[in-house]
Chain A
């Protein structure tokens, strides 16, 4: 499977999981009992996280924009997800550079994943970028700093659950991460 097809399929799969499963979680009362803010875990930014390391930044930006717009279309959020995704895509290289031990161009066609980076660096990398994404999304959605505690609780709740799903996704698809792709 070529690396393009692989990423395209991942795009479709992640949007499917996000839109058809995770967005419905907030409709269950036990996800937000008495007074706890409603929140959604976002797993679709994983597409940007898992793009090959040597992908040029302009392509990451544009694919992040496309990804965000697709999710916006399904979730009726105007352009909030797109804005958050573009922000996250822009910050990706700045986070990736200090975490990786070697120079960026030495990773040919490799994705940042558990296999190439190990658990701790990968989870650090994804938690920083997901934090930025969630912060941008929630600030744009709430559009006020009236209730900072509410923002923090909502941010933490969705960040923790998002990271859980990211780890779950990595575990589920770690078999295919093992294989090498040459193209």
Chain B
């Protein structure tokens, strides 16, 4: 009993911390409707700044460093809002997500430059270095302080939102930004202010974590996935919901570790999936009002009269490439082709389908692991390459069924959750996946061994896959899919079964990703949990963003440019920051991508 109570308090302390992070994220979302990936980076900066200040301030030390760090991060958040996010309020969620992910990369590089790569382990909080005995069990004083801090912040937010003019305006803006503007209130100011509050909370959470864990460059993505879970379970925009969700997750982890020590990472995402399956808008969330901001007008999509000759020319030159290229160029091309196939499927669901997936790596990874398992079972490469799309397709049917019931950000978060569940399972369930060790020694059959043979195999398989996907987009299926995206009510009134079409598109995208994963597995000879990670999903999204979301040739162009971009940037010292800047720039200034730009030019010229 005493033990369970102590465990409960441990869970409550980590819940408090989770709540502090998630509260800021949910406030920002509630007001601005922006899903801010960079929230984790702000949290990380809070920790770094508090650590550095603690060392510098002789007077006050840690306790003075915490508020200074929090406010500093709050101001940095304001800068972020005014320079980047303000330009993205009307943009589709995909661009917001990618742009804030670009900010993540920039901040990581800045932090690396300013604070160095070494983990920084801060001192314990002055005055709270010991433990008190509660029912005989030692409870760290700092844990009790954290519990108090969480409740205090909840109370302050409640007072702020219910007892001040600003808070009431924020709540009104959450309900209807247009109405607030009609009242003559500058909604831009409200957005900026709520960003300040959200960022300050992120900084506070980071600063308060310094006595508990080392400050590292991995804090940003480690925390953001979990914060998303809390926000989504609670209902996006609901601070109280985040509080309840944080307690739920904190306790699940505290007691889960006793029962299933190898499932600590999975638990949070499983809980989120269960909650969303029962309540698609989270515990305290409301349905997103109005249609998703598909306010952008998707351009027409077809290859145009230049498309077919260009595709044939590309195929011929790729077929002849091995005659002139060095092996490592062929290896690079294999990478580009698998990425292009992965992105092509993703484009079908994101472009014509209008569904944003932030976890498409789930299917790439399923394919890769299925190929690996088949090969390890001694069934050979061909069976492996067949198993890959099969497993990914089955996964996509199941996950897709759950996801297509939602739309917009909720759908993106559900896909993210699905990928994170699979990733956590891959990391922690060694018996199945080899964990971090991965699966090694998955090599092609003898006839396909060697850069040239495998290059031709990849060209044939991914070429066929991409041809099918382009056909699908140009077939009645693609037209009706776009119909559902452009005008859902119109499509329904024509008798189009959108949910089924979306589900099919989701599955097709999953199959393509799985096939790409299988090809990649045999190309590299190994599979690691990273194939399921957030950056892998971002790879695919970036390729289609670069190539153009609404250009059928986009994935190929995007994958190739992505490789070129890497080539140029990666040789520079601050390639992360430069890549991040490129992503932000693209999302803000060139949302049509290169493919979109080309097809626009061609269309103008082909017009009479």
A and B are interacting partners: no
Interface residues of A (CB under 8 A from B): none
